[in-house]
Structure 1
Amino acid sequence: MTDTLDDRRLITERLARLAAAFDTRDWEEAAAAFTPEASGYGATGVENVVAVVRRHLGGCGPSQHLLGNHRVTVDGNRARSLTYARVLHQGAGSMADRFYECCGEYDDHWQRTRGQWLLCERRFTVTIQTGDFGVLRPDPAPA
């Protein structure tokens, strides 16, 4: 079993870039974090995984994914990370005065592919939630 600080740093940085991609609605950057056959959010295949996230975030207002308490275990070209998340979503349009916030834990499985760490499986377990889940909605006119 290998568990280098550099691998842990690379995985933690990839998590931060993915969270920022979600918050800026950079779907291309989000897709780049996953293997082609990845599973997550109840979907399989990178296009489907990103489509699920896009249906939730595409039409809401600003969001902020805060990540912490990273626990990363590396075993060769595979890894697992457990990461706490607190995510705030502001409503948009007629729902701009509403919010939805959730706290939970990402359970991510990684694969080293061509020298970079990519997500091959992702689960998010919500443990606390408050507000109006209805602010999560698709972009009315996706690009």
Structure 2
Amino acid sequence: MSSFFPLMAQRRWKPDRIIGVVPTLFCTPGMRLLATLSGARTVLHIQDYEVDAMLGLGMAGKGKRGSVARLATAFERSALRNVDNVSTISRSMMNKAREKGVAAEKILFFPNWSEVARFQDVNDADVTAFASAAWLARGQKKLCFIPAISAKNKGWKR
């Protein structure tokens, strides 16, 4: 909830693309609302399937058939099916997206690594090619919304 109002403030500059990073899935409705208000396309980038993790850890109370599990699964299904694209970090996670009802043509592979050597001799043609692959025309902007910044992610001790 704390990210909702700062996110809505971004509609003034009209982003062309909005990327939400999961976890946390709960920011997806705000991302989708901003996309609707601004006309932006959306990408939900999955780092981890948090509903599956919740169910696997037994955190849903009465298990996979309980009301919490059913509500969380329905919320996840809505989030995955109502964005323009879903990207994820591995082929197995792409398959999991497909199992969860995401159309194959909407799924993108976007791993968590980069070959730094590829960027040593970058020229204007390379930049233009990358922008085209990322659906960006000259002058367009991309908003990357990463809500899950926590002590754990930064390596801080509690």
Scaled by the length of structure 1, the TM-score of the pair is 0.22
Judging by fraction of residues, say which structure has more strand.
1
Scaled by the length of structure 2, the TM-score of the pair is 0.21
Judging by fraction of residues, say which structure has more helix.
2
